[in-house]
Structure 1
Amino acid sequence: MFEALKAQPADKILALMQKFREDPRSDKIDLGVGVYKNAEGVTPVMRAIKAAEHQLWETQISKAYVGLAGDPAYADAMIKLILADTVERGNIAAAATPGGTGAVRQAFELIKIANPSARVFVSDPTWPNHISILNYLGIETVTYRYFDRTTCGVNFDAMMSDLKTAVKGDVVLLHGCCHNPTGANLNAVQWQEVIDLLNARGLVPMIDIAYQGFGDGLEEDAVGVRMVAAGTPECLIAASCSKNFGIYRERTGLLMMVSNDAASQKLNQGTLAFLNRQNYSFPPDHGARLVTMILNDDALRADWAAELEEVRLGMLGLRQGLADELQRLSGSDRFGFLAQHRGMFSLLGTTPELVEKLRADNGIYMVGDSRMNIAGLNADTIPILAKAIIDAGI
């Protein structure tokens, strides 16, 4: 049987990480992997996480399973963080998942069993694993234009034009904030126009929110998600705690089903529990437990929010520093978009050939579509990157 297996395409980001590790140059710069790193190149354990882990170690008396959907207290805390009071809690079904990727996968599984003919519209570009999972599940994928490579902002008119080709029952996948890979986001007016189109055409929104707190702030980054949840009959929300709590390896995520019909919540909740049972049964709890403790403890939450704000402001400083240095070297403001983008990523909008030139000539590693992780920079490497970009003719 095994001899019939075929080699699967390598993950481009993982392959890039391997190339970086094998590069002997001491001045190489890693802007590829999508993980937050501080100025020392370390992904730190946040202070509040350390404190919560210490409390948990002292007080936890059992490692028995939690429910199929995870601890309800975790769902309550995350729903409050993301949606605040915009939707009645009784209208929301939720299940813990192994990371944000697990939430995305379960959402796609849910779409497939709820409406096998549904197409999923995804932005061009989007996080590559969105399309990979959809293809694996045999769900038809349609791209909508999103990134304007001339302005390096959102091509909103083209986006709306493409979404008007969707038909009732199709799903539109949106990024809640800090769009991956572009860093270009919708504003509140544009979010409302998208909501109006979704409702007019009977489309189902699905939101992937993985970077709340990395863009304009915890509350500000949730504006679009809250508008969609409150303004549409139903939606799916896949959330991740990997970035804003720094617990990547704990695989902590949540899938939410939001409906304006409270009577359907029991069925929805049962469906999410069923999906978990078919996949991994009981979700991991350690990360979810820590998140719950932090969000429900005033002191821990304040410390977590303060450190997250330090991270956010640090990335904004790196963005501004890079934009300023590129302006100084080029005598042009054509790279000003870097300071306007939000989150860890920006898309330079250049060619794979020039990205490869940066790697070959300067040891600068970024994904072939020119996505770079701003958090991979520091004060010392900003001038190096800026000079390399100008020298490469980007």
Structure 2
Amino acid sequence: MLNNLKPQAPDAILQLITLCREDTRATKIDLGVGVYKDGTGNTPVMKAIRTAGKQVWDAETTKVYTNLPGDPAFGNVMRDLVLADSVSADRVSAIATPGGTGAIRQAFELGRQANPDMTVWTSNPTWPNHVAILKFMGLPNSEYAYFDAESCTVDFDAMMDSLKGVKAGDMVLLHGCCHNPTGANLTLEQFGIVADLIAEKGALALVDIAYQGFGDGLEEDAAPTRLLASKLPEMLIAASCSKNFGVYRERVGCLMAVSETAASAPTTQANMNYLNRIAFSFPPDHGARLVTTVLSDPALTADWKTELEDVRLSMLGLRTQLADELRQRTNSDRFDFIAEHRGMFSRIGATPEEVLKMREDFGIYMVSDSRMNIAGLNPTTVPHLAEAIAKSCK
């Protein structure tokens, strides 16, 4: 029977990793894989996480299962981190998931449980795995306009025009901050306008927030999600701890649901628990416990916030440096948007042919749609990238 299986298309980013690894040029730069790297090219373990790991190890007396939704303490600290006091706590249900990807998958499943006929609306472009999961699940997917490739900014008028097609019971997936893959974000005012449209349409918002703290700051990055929660009767939030806590391999995610009333929240929670049960029973605990330990200890929280802020400022510095280098080399402001984008990624508007030229001539490895990982740079490699862009892009 297994002979009936069909080959799967290779993952473009994993292919890039292999190509870059095989490149012998000392000047090569890997801007494909979405992980943070420090100035030495290492993805470090955060100090607060390392300390929390020792505390958990010393205090742990059992490896018995927690609960179907995971340790309730994890859901509580994630609710406080993402939503703060924007919505009453008794309206929020939460489950731990294997990474932010697991939270997205469970959000789609929960939406289908509530409305088997829903269409999921995703931005054009969006994180490719959003669309891949929807296709695998057989869920209808419509795109809404988002990115203007000419200016490399959000085309908000086109976005709102697209969203006129949303119907009651549909799901609208929004990036909470640091849009992946473009780096171009809605303003807080624009998020409010989108929230009004979603409420008017009777749709369900799903916020994917995977980079809180990487953009304008922890509170600033959470502001759009909190605004939506304060304006909408119900919504879903898929949160990831991979980036902002640096626990990539621990696979720490959380799906939160805001119900219309506190009375309906237990039913929402029971359905979320059920989805965990049929998918993987009990969610992984170790990474979630590390995050809970950090966010429950004021000293560790302070250490974590300091280190996270250093990471954020480092990426902003690289963005500014690259924009300045490109302004000098092109004698134009064409690439100034790079300094305005936020998060790990920017899509720079290069064609696939230009991306290939940069790879062949300069050893620059970025996704063919010209999405690049800013965190893959350091101050000494920025000039080389700027030279490659300036000489390869028309």
Name the TM-score class by shorter chain.
Answer: over 0.9
The residue that corresponds to 1:387 in the other structure is 387
Segments of 4+ moved more than 4 angstroms: none
1-structure distance, mates of 2:9, 2:142: 21
Instruction: State how 1:8-19 maps to structure 2 within 5 Å.
Output: 8-19=8-19
Q: Which residue identity does 2:313 align to in structure 1?
A: L
Instruction: State how 1:351-370 maps to structure 2 within 5 Å.
Output: 351-370=351-370
2-structure distance, mates of 1:17, 1:114: 39
The residue that corresponds to 1:340 in the other structure is 340
Instruction: State how 1:11-50 maps to structure 2 within 5 Å.
Output: 11-50=11-50
**Structure 1, unpaired ranges of 5+:** none
> How far does the alpha carbon of each residue in 1:168-204 deviate from its partner, in whole angstroms, 9 at most, with x for none?
1111000000000000001111011101111111111
Secondary structure in 1 aligned to 2:167? coil
2-structure distance, mates of 1:56, 1:144: 44
The residue that corresponds to 2:272 in the other structure is 272
The residue that corresponds to 1:262 in the other structure is 262
1-structure distance, mates of 2:272, 2:10: 31
Decide whether the 8 Å contact of 2:91 with 2:260 is kept in 1. yes
2-structure distance, mates of 1:82, 1:161: 29
Q: Which residue identity does 2:113 align to in structure 1?
A: I
Residue 9 of structure 1: how far off its partner (Å): 1.3
Q: Which residue identity does 2:29 align to in structure 1?
A: I
The residue that corresponds to 1:350 in the other structure is 350
2-structure distance, mates of 1:96, 1:224: 22
Q: Which residue identity does 1:193 align to in structure 2?
A: I
Instruction: State how 1:226-305 maps to structure 2 within 5 Å.
Output: 226-305=226-305
Residue 98 of structure 1: how far off its partner (Å): 0.4
> How far does the alpha carbon of each residue in 1:135-179 deviate from its partner, in whole angstroms, 9 at most, with x for none?
000001101110011211100000000000111111100000000
1-structure distance, mates of 2:180, 2:322: 19
> How far does the alpha carbon of each residue in 1:42-80 deviate from its partner, in whole angstroms, 9 at most, with x for none?
000000001101111111111111101000000000000
Decide whether the 8 Å contact of 2:259 with 2:268 is kept in 1. no
The residue that corresponds to 2:167 in the other structure is 167
Decide whether the 8 Å contact of 2:250 with 2:286 is kept in 1. yes
Residue 113 of structure 1: how far off its partner (Å): 2.0
Q: Which residue identity does 2:368 align to in structure 1?
A: G
Q: Which residue identity does 2:172 align to in structure 1?
A: V
Secondary structure in 2 aligned to 1:40? coil
**Structure 2, unpaired ranges of 5+:** none
Instruction: State how 1:1-394 maps to structure 2 within 5 Å.
Output: 1-394=1-394
TM-score by length of 2: 0.99
> How far does the alpha carbon of each residue in 1:343-379 deviate from its partner, in whole angstroms, 9 at most, with x for none?
0000001211111111111110001110000000111
Q: Which residue identity does 2:213 align to in structure 1?
A: G
2-structure distance, mates of 1:267, 1:103: 18
TM-score by length of 1: 0.99
2-structure distance, mates of 1:298, 1:200: 41
53-62 vs 97-106, which moves further = 53-62
Secondary structure in 2 aligned to 1:368? coil
2-structure distance, mates of 1:258, 1:117: 21
Q: Which residue identity does 2:322 align to in structure 1?
A: L
Secondary structure in 2 aligned to 1:121? strand
198-207 vs 306-315, which moves further = 198-207
Q: Which residue identity does 2:158 align to in structure 1?
A: A
> How far does the alpha carbon of each residue in 1:247-299 deviate from its partner, in whole angstroms, 9 at most, with x for none?
00000000011012111111111111100011111101111001101101010
Q: Which residue identity does 1:344 align to in structure 2?
A: M
2-structure distance, mates of 1:393, 1:190: 31
Residue 26 of structure 1: how far off its partner (Å): 2.0
2-structure distance, mates of 1:377, 1:98: 29
Residue 381 of structure 1: how far off its partner (Å): 0.6
Secondary structure in 2 aligned to 1:274? helix
1-structure distance, mates of 2:353, 2:259: 46
Q: Which residue identity does 1:308 align to in structure 2?
A: L
Secondary structure in 2 aligned to 1:219? helix
What is the percentage of aligned positions where both structures have the same residue? 59
1-structure distance, mates of 2:352, 2:79: 40
1-structure distance, mates of 2:194, 2:333: 30
Q: Which residue identity does 1:94 align to in structure 2?
A: A
2-structure distance, mates of 1:367, 1:66: 40
> How far does the alpha carbon of each residue in 1:281-336 deviate from its partner, in whole angstroms, 9 at most, with x for none?
11011110011011010100000000000000000000000000000111101110
CA-atom RMSD in angstroms:
0.7
1-structure distance, mates of 2:107, 2:320: 36
